[in-house]
Amino acid sequence: SFREMIVVGIATKDRRRELTFPATSDETLRKEYPTHGESAKFRAFIASEVKPWVERSYRTDGHDAVIGESLAGLFIVETFLKQPDLFDGYAAIDPSLWWDNGALAIQARGLLAAQSSSERTRGERALYMAVAQGAPAMRVPQAAVANTLKSVAPAGLSFTYEVMDDEQHSTIYHRAALMALRK
């Protein structure tokens, strides 16, 4: 059984705009998706409007978590690395860490080092990352982020990396979301 929870869904209007950071090394992404790259604004919207609205509108216990798949999974990992104190729990399901030639995987060690030196970061946090069977362009940056987290995890982090080779990108969500909630 699960503890009580309030589930809040946030619809996106332009996934590539709201869930991705600016592509600086991949010219093709900039041309194909000219509106991309405003994940920082989306994160600010969640922090300044969504979370306060939930707190005002519902009885909460102060514990919160976020879950996303594919590009939303990319957003989850980016949020964990760049603004770790925004949530207590993070679940990234088959995150699209291939975005911008794996830039987030390359930046992960430095972003984690910045977390370790920050006094404002909350104590206990959890990150669950599940990955499906996938091409090297998808799996290599996912594994790189997982390996970085395993080697230089900030204090108080409970990290789970679940490889689901029997799932595809299109089938992993329901199983992995259930596993994430159990964690």
Structure tokens at 21: 């950071």
Residues with Cβ within 8 Å of residue 47, at least 6 apart in sequence = 83, 86
Region 5-21: mean pLDDT is: 95
Q: pLDDT tens digits, residue range 27-43?
A: 999 999 999 999 999 99
Distance in angstroms (rounded) separating the CA atoms of residues 176 and 94: 9
Distance in angstroms (rounded) separating the CA atoms of residues 90 and 38: 20
Q: pLDDT tens digits, residue range 90-110?
A: 999 999 999 999 999 999 999
> What sign does the CA torsion over 76, 81, 84, 89 have?
positive
Distance in angstroms (rounded) separating the CA atoms of residues 41 and 38: 5
